[in-house]
Every structure is written in structure tokens, then in C-alpha cells.
Amino acid sequence: MIKLLDIRYVRLGTRDVDAATRYANDVVGLTLGRREGKAAYFRSDDRDHTLVYFEGDPKDHIVGFELRNMAELQHAASVLDAAHIAVHAGTNAECDARAVKAYINFRDLNGSSIDLVVQPHHSGTAYWPPHDHGITGFSHIGLCSADPGRDEDFWTQVLGARVSDRIGAAPLLRIDEVHHKIALFPAQRAGVQHINHQVKSIDDIMRAWYRLQKAGVRIVFGPGRHPTSGAMFLYFEGPDGMVYEYSSGVRTIAPEQEAGYRPRQFPMADSSFCMWGSRPDIPEFKT
């Protein structure tokens, strides 16, 4: 089995890198680390980058996960090959573009593009956010899944994730103590469904709610609180229809709790997404 260490980055294609750059900087509140050719690299913490917008097809999404060392990367390639999953080993130029020592890429059973990386770069400078939005770091992603049961098996049996809870057929998957780093939502497409950044507190979420409304940004869910992870949240629409989320207060499951932990099953209902009564305007969340 492959052991994912952490989620590392998301790479998103866009027709307008300049507009996406302004949005990521001014609206989301990420720091522009650098521009390289037709790509913009953004920081949300002490990592080299956690989000990249590059010139390309807006349907082109890549999610990067970190492995511990080269031996684990070689093991991962063998495991995927045994599962009849095609693997691409990154070239030197591709590794440089991702700021990693080495990586392999594959597509999961739904067709989403996944990088497994080793020795991703950290930034040599302190992280100074451009705006006081309260962001503490990139935390998780939602992925699209035409068959959540099939894809849950793949992510748990091949990639070593564990189910924390389920909403209908959608599993919320953890790879460390955080309640979930991946969520698989029913959708007839591949790629990223939403991108989450953690903020310090409910105050940051409520300030964002007023700020985004004033700026004319479309809010698609919240403010609210998830009964699964316990996190308070706000979802809003970004470039090319991508959904971004701020959240705070996510539940953790400590190693000593693992043996006795059992995933909870929530019905596919509005109350399973928000315990405060907010209703989502997100297709994959609608009941």
C-alpha cells in the first residue's frame, strides 16, 4: 500500500492567468511567490507553493501529494503498475516546474490527475500574506467521482487513505490526523471539485462573508458548520467555476483513536452538510 504523507499543491489550467492571479491574490488572499513563463505560483504558508495557475485548459487539474522518500516513490510506482495504472515519471523540467526532487503522475479510476512527489521545496523566506484574511494554509480538496464506492476502494486500498465519515455515497478521507484531506463527491467529470484553505477563526469567516459580498463574489454555501468535521465554513466561486472554501475548527483524529474509530454515515441531506441551516448552491452538494 502507498502511504501519503500530506497534500502538497493544486495545479489549475486557465485561459487567463492574469485574471486568475488577481483573484488568487486579492480575493482568496494568497501570496504570489513568482511568475514563471505562463504560470503563477502562490503561497499560503511556508511551502514553496500550494497553488499554481498555468495557461491551459480550465479542465486540466493536477493534485500533488507528498511521499516520505525516494524508496516510497519507487514503491508507489510498483504498486500502481501492479494495479494496471499507467505511471509517468517526471522529467527534470517537469520536476523543476513543480519544485520537487522527483515525482510520478497517474490518473485515478475517475480520470483525475495525481502527482506523488518527493522532497518538495520549502520557501527560504517568511510567509507574509498580502491581505489579513486569516489564512493559515492549504488544507484539502474535493475530487469529482462518477462512482464514489469504486473510488473509495482505490483511495483506501491502494493509496492508504482512511474513511472518516460518509455523506450519502461521498466518503471524507484522511491521510493524517486531520478529519479529511480528500473528499469524493458524485459528479460526471474528473478533476478538483473544491479547494480548501484554513483560516484562524470564525471571525475570519464572517469578515470574508461581508468582504466577498461587497466585492460581488458569488457565495455558494455558508456561512455554516459541517456536522462531519465540525469545521465552520464559507464556500465561494473562483475563476473557471472553481469553488474555494475557507474553514476553521476542523476535527482531528489522533493515532490513539484510530483502533476504535468507526466512520459515521450521514444521509444525503442539507443537514448533513450544514448543521446551522445553510443550503448549498453547489451541484455536488445538492440533495
- Structure confidence at residue 86 (pLDDT): 98
pLDDT (0 to 100) of residue 89: 98
pLDDT value for 130: 83
User: What is the structure's pLDDT at 131?
Assistant: 86
The candidate with the shortest Cα–Cα distance to 70, out of 103, 38, 21, 24, is 103
Query: How far is 227 from 242, CA to CA, in rounded Å?
Result: 24
Q: What's at 195, amino acid-wise? A: I
Instruction: State residue 168's pLDDT score.
Output: 97
d(CA 43, CA 117): 18
The whole-model pTM stands at: 0.96
Residue boundaries of the structural domains of the chain: 6-118, 135-285
Measured CA to CA, the distance from residue 207 to residue 165 in angstroms comes to: 29
Q: Which of 131, 106, 152 is nearest to 28 (CA)?
A: 131
Residue 125's pLDDT is 84
Q: Does domain 135-285 have CATH number 3.10.180.10?
A: yes
CATH fourth-level superfamily of 6-118 = 2,3-Dihydroxybiphenyl 1,2-Dioxygenase, domain 1 (3.10.180.10)
Dihedral sign, CA of 48, 244, 263, 201?
positive
Q: Which residues of the chain have pLDDT under 70?
A: none
Question: 200 and 137 in contact (C-beta within 8 Å)?
Answer: no
**Cα separation of 172 and 228, whole Å?**
9
Please report the pLDDT score of residue 129 as a whole number. Answer: 86
What nine digits make up the cell of 9?
Answer: 499543491
pLDDT at residue number 287: 73
